[in-house]
Amino acid sequence: VILIIIKMKSKTQTIEVITSDSEHWYPSPKKKNVFYPSVTTINAVYPKGVGFNKYLTEQTSWESAQETLEEAGKRGTLVHLGTERLERGDVLHQEEYQINEWQRLMGFVNWFKIHQPILLKSEYKVVSDKYKTGGTIDRIYKIGDEHIILDIKTGKRMYKNYWLQVAAYEKLVTETKQFPKIDCLAVLRLTPLRKEYFEYVVSSDWTEDWKAFEACRVIWNLENGKDAKPKILTLPTELKL
């Protein structure tokens, strides 16, 4: 997945890009040629538990397991894009989606009608030199009198590392000083296995989740090096025989 174009060299007709199959990097907002691993990249070192590992081992091969994860990722992306379209006022049509994707979008509509959130930010990118990480926050809402960071998930269960992720987002958002104090963190899991097609959990205390994220950062640094950098490829901008 090509993430960031660093620079294009017109004389040699090449382009330098950051690319990786499993990591996302964000450029420093102030420092030139400095990149930080994303919140989700750091958070990935947190174990998802025996159930998740058992699910992967039940696949016929490593390749099959990766294909399953890729399909889940594609489904999640389609559902996320669908929720954005709904909030823009678009009308979605069932034939554009598979049944399990459509059920998840129904879950978003059901949740939205119940809670009537006021959208403050969608797909909000924020990067911190202080915390040396960055992320793209699904939503910042005002619901009632509370300002809430919300992450949309489409997984099979409510994994613990979801809360580490949104706890880190709160630190990044608070540092920007562009919003009122965040009152709550929330995860909205869209799932065909619930009657209303969603599970909505809100947290008002994420102290321990932030500590756990910091521990993940220590482990990530040990595995990758404190000064780890993204992989950079130099590629031609044209191909011909």
pLDDT band at 1 (very low <50, low <70, confident <90, very high): very low
pLDDT of 34 above 90: no
Q: How far apart are CA 183 and CA 142, in angstroms?
A: 10
Contact 198, 111 (CB under 8 A): yes
Task: Output the pLDDT for position 68.
Answer: 60
Phi, psi of 149 (to 5 degrees): -90, 125
Segment 142-168 shows an average pLDDT of: 96
Across 113-130, b (16+ Cβ under 10 Å) vs e yields eebebeebbbebebbbee
Residue-level pLDDT at 232: 74
Point out the least confidently predicted range of 62-71, 143-152, 156-165. Answer: 62-71
Sign of the torsion formed by the C-alpha atoms of 173, 205, 196 and 50:
positive
Q: Please indicate whether residue 206 or residue 4 has the higher confidence score (pLDDT).
A: 206
| 3-state SS track over 4-27 | EEEEEECCCCEEEEEECCCCCEEE
Q: Is the pLDDT of residue 3 over 50?
A: no
Please state the rounded mean pLDDT for residues 115-136.
Answer: 95
pLDDT at 8: 47
> pTM of the prediction?
0.84
- Looking at the chain, the whole-number percentage of residues with pLDDT higher than 90 is 64
Return the DSSP state at 38.
Answer: B
Query: Would you say 154 and 76 are in contact if contact means Cβ atoms under 8 Å apart?
Result: yes
Question: What is the arithmetic mean of pLDDT over 149-171?
Answer: 96
Instruction: State the average pLDDT over residues 198-217.
Output: 97
CB-based burial label for 228 (10 Å; 0-12, 13-18, 19+): middle
pLDDT tens per residue, range 81-96: 999 999 999 999 999 9
